[in-house]
Amino acid sequence: MKIPAFLALLLLAACASKPPVPAWQPNAKDALDGFTDDYLRGNTAAANAQFARARRETTSTGRFDVVAQAELVRCATLAASLEFADCPGFAALASGATPQQRAYAAYIGGRWEGLDAGLLPEQHRPVLASGSMAGVADPLARLVAAGALLKAGRIRLEDIVAATETASGQGWRRPLLMWLGVQAKRAEAAGNTAGADSIRRRIALASGTQ
């Protein structure tokens, strides 16, 4: 059935009235997604290249909060892998960031004293209140929460195990090796030699040395 000419014109006008999405938005998202995936899989060079692309796309806006968001993604991804560098990229932009972004940076960095949970992303609010990541469903968010708990000195053994298996299930080599390392140290400190040896064999397997 043919669309009447006047209706076709109305449809075209409706489509034309919606402004196109600026190219930098999908480009930045694709680059950040690529950075996250490459970094968690242990592909450092590729991850660095993807993040550099994300920075180029976001800085084209001239907006501190937009670039700060990209830096937070980077910081959170590193925290999920237990690599804490105090977010220097974000720190340089913090004065122009939003209160929500500054709160998330503090959360990732384990600076929880006086932190307003209402400023955090919804799935991280219960972590601050309960000191557990049990209710966090998204795999990356779970690892970020676990990293934040460790940095804040509030991590529990069950959360360490959950973080390890989350990384394992996703095939994320970098955080898996880091969390297995935490488990091995805990086992050694508890005098569990057999358990520590078992974890070290798993580390060798995941790192490709076995």
Interatomic CA distance for residues 107 and 119, integer angstroms: 10
Report which of residues 93 and 10 the model is more confident about.
93
Q: Which residues contact 107 (CB under 8 A, 6 or more apart)?
A: 115, 120, 124, 128, 148
Angle formed by the axes of helices 24-41 and 64-80, nearest 10°? 20
Written as six digits, the tokens of 42 are 């242990």
Specify the pLDDT at position 6. Answer: 52
Q: How far apart are CA 133 and CA 74, in angstroms?
A: 20
pLDDT tens figures, 144-178: 999 999 999 999 999 999 999 999 999 999 999 99
3-state percent helix, strand, coil for the chain, nearest multiple of 5: 70, 0, 30
Q: Which two tokens stand for residue 76?
A: 């959170």
pLDDT greater at residue 168 or residue 1: 168
Please give the Cα distance from 183 to 56 (Å, whole number).
38
